[in-house]
Structure 1
Amino acid sequence: MSAPLFLVDALPSGDTATLGGAEGHHAATVQRLRVGEDLVLADGRGGTATAVVTAAGRGSLDLRIISRGYAEAPDPRLVVIQGIAKGDRGELAVQAMTEVGVDEIVPWAAVRSVVQWKGERGTRAHDKWVATAREAAKQARRPWLPTVAPPVSTREATVRATLVLHEEAETRLSTVDLPAAGEIALVVGPEGGIAPEELAAFESAGASLVRLGEQVLRTSTAGVAALSVLSARLGRW
């Protein structure tokens, strides 16, 4: 099993370090790492440091740095403009998309989104997506932490969208032309799908409608499936 990864604000500059706070508590108390075990520290921006535990305290670990590394940011970036979903479906989507390699998630207040992020409720919902992405990135041992952008309207979403998942599209995602650099921004609708006027707005802005296959997937799984196809085509997998 690969060494567990823990996210820190900044990597230690010296040969020794102490992992404390919430990450130290999780490492020492929850995962119960012991002297001699390895772990990886990551700053969420590509930088990593492999370390070995030299002492285990109450909610903290003393570490000796073994090696350092840096992973270049993926190019093109994979962005998913995710229709806001009710219940835990949005969080399920964020978790799975992070695990398979999404680089940015943009919550989209679609016409058919049952839940609208407004006021304090919207802030809490956004914070939950951010926390979900962070934990999923750790689980997947990702050196880059995906960004969860502020929620956008349809008008704002059309500015970035390049591909739109739709079950009636004629072009398959597996065959559409992909850019060699920059970003690929994929739109995933909410539970009720994308409204006709939204489809028209995306197409007018230059986005292409694409489909995965014959099946109609839930909003919590469509983005994951699409990212898998894109990751294979781009050589990430």
Structure 2
Amino acid sequence: MSSLPDGTNGPHAFVTNLEQPELSDEDQHHLQRVLRLRPSDPLTISDGAHRWRPAIFGDTIEVTGEIVTVPPPKVAITIGFVVPKGDRPSWIVQKLTELGVDEIHLLSSQRSVVKWDPPKADQQRERLIRIAREAAMQSRQVRLPKIKPISGIKEATLEPGVSLAHRSGERISLKQPSIYIGPEGGWEPTELVDLPTVSLGPSV
């Protein structure tokens, strides 16, 4: 089985085309000014579609090895969460990306504290997409998680295979690959009706 980049070939970045790779201005600046890469230093590049290859840094990126294809996981994992206040959504998206989650769903519920109007929701989602990309570079992922726009829990649970996290639910397993996590105050009883629940542990 083909493996992920392990860091021995330097830092990791995303490009659109692995055949003719070009770094974004932001990534070029980060690698050169923050990570202090010099011309001819090694790095790995990925197209975010389960593929990567070794390369050499410079004003133009020179590829030095073949494209490696990493098979996708047998079970795609989706995590949804009711958006909390403050900067915690950024931290959650960062950690879920580092863990290799495939999809991240932003949710609102009856007990939501955060209320985003449509322009604010779009702005915040774009920011979280950037955070996920940075986290994927840092953790050398070869795919980028899909971050869905915020939606109400009633609409979101129309997705097939969704389970809600609840301490009285069944033991978590890969039989429930799509899990939604509620707000600090918990789900409203009406939100739990007719939906499967899974437990993340007795103290969660």
Question: What is the TM-score normalised by the length of structure 2?
Answer: 0.87
Any idea what SS the aligned residue of 2:171 has? coil
Q: CA deviation at 1:212?
A: 2.0
Q: CA deviation at 1:49?
A: 1.8
Partner of 1:145: 144
Q: CA deviation at 1:18?
A: 5.3
Is residue 2:114 matched to residue 1:126?
no
Q: 1:11 aligns with which of 18, 22, 30?
A: 18
- Is contact 1:5-1:139 (8 Å) kept? yes
Write the distance in 1 (CA, Å) between the matches of 2:96 and 2:23: 28
Superposition misfits of 4+ residues, deviation over 3 angstroms: 17-20
Write the distance in 2 (CA, Å) between the matches of 1:31 and 1:135: 13
Write the distance in 2 (CA, Å) between the matches of 1:133 and 1:197: 32
Is residue 2:25 matched to residue 1:24?
no
Is residue 2:185 matched to residue 1:192?
yes
Q: 1:178 aligns with which of 167, 175, 178?
A: 175
- Is contact 1:20-1:61 (8 Å) kept? no
Question: Paired residues, what number?
Answer: 196
Q: How does 1:14-163 map to 2 (within 5 A)?
A: 19=23, 21-53=25-57, 56=58, 60-160=59-159, 161-163=161-163
- Is contact 2:122-2:149 (8 Å) kept? no
Structure 2 gaps, min length 5: 1-5
Write the distance in 2 (CA, Å) between the matches of 1:78 and 1:129: 18
Any idea what SS the aligned residue of 1:67 has? coil
Q: CA deviation at 1:19?
A: 3.6
* Code of the aligned partner of 1:11: L
Any idea what SS the aligned residue of 1:198 has? helix
Any idea what SS the aligned residue of 2:136 has? helix
Write the distance in 2 (CA, Å) between the matches of 1:98 and 1:185: 15
Q: CA RMSD in A?
A: 2.0
Write the distance in 2 (CA, Å) between the matches of 1:30 and 1:79: 32
Structure 1 gaps, min length 5: 217-237
Write the distance in 2 (CA, Å) between the matches of 1:128 and 1:21: 17
Any idea what SS the aligned residue of 2:143 has? coil
Write the distance in 1 (CA, Å) between the matches of 2:203 and 2:184: 15
- Is contact 2:121-2:149 (8 Å) kept? no
Q: 2:202 aligns with which of 214, 232, 235?
A: 214
| 1:126-164 Cα deviation digits (max 9, x unpaired) | 112111111111111000100101112222211125322
Partner of 2:164: 164
Any idea what SS the aligned residue of 1:77 has? coil
Question: What is the TM-score normalised by the length of structure 1?
Answer: 0.75
- Is contact 1:27-1:61 (8 Å) kept? no
